[in-house]
Structure 1
Amino acid sequence: MPIVSELPRIKIKEDEQWDGLKGYLTNTELSPQEVYHQYSCFWSIERAFRITKGTIEVRPMFHFTERRIEAHVCICFVAYKVYKELERILKINLPISGQTVNKTMFFTESHKEIVFLFDDDFWENHLG
């Protein structure tokens, strides 16, 4: 005998209305839009921790002085920053011409403020 027959049919119907939906409970004063936005960015934080623990190997640390621990964390932070900057620079191989094109991704507002520095004409006009 299937287990479903033992469950009240009304409870199953009530539960069906939530199929495919995801909800968030919070104790903050943030707006629903801000809660959603913050949670949707959460994956990037988890990925950063995964990269620092695995790829860059922040842990385990076997240092015994505060200065060495700070130096280790600092070096790992710089390595992570370099990793992220290299990740922002894309190389695209064009299939027909075989040409390789470099593209830099600008994510934040501060990135977008300096986008003109990446134009070839800017440096030719200001240095030449």
Structure 2
Amino acid sequence: MPTPHFTVWYNTRCPVCDAGIDWQRNKLLALVRAGTIEFRDINEQPDALARFGASLDDIRRRLHAIDEAGRLVVGADVAIALWLITPGEGWLAALFGNRAALPFTRFFYDRFADLLFAWNKRCGRW
């Protein structure tokens, strides 16, 4: 199988994250089957992104991905990258990823991620 051009790391123990990635994976099934994109559970390889300085909690808090150039992509930027390649969702990337909106998108994504992370910890999903 070829090396994926985009590998997304996420937390399957978070029901919201798991459902969201499952939904996205199904929309990108052709790319998944072609090996262009890959979705991985960080709980199976907790040190997978240690070379980037990303801890297990960092990845449980926010989506992380490795792009085709081997660069780390984090948070809202992962969502925007996924929208760009998902049929019918390019408009989301254009709306939330444009120069004017991107700072707000990142801010609100991070606040939502913080709340979700705290909820998962409180519920003992580690």
TM-score normalized with structure 2 length: 0.29
Higher radius of gyration, 1 or 2:
1
TM-score normalized with structure 1 length: 0.28
Choose between structure 1 and 2 for higher RCO, CA contacts under 8 A separated by at least 6 residues: 2
More strand by share: 2
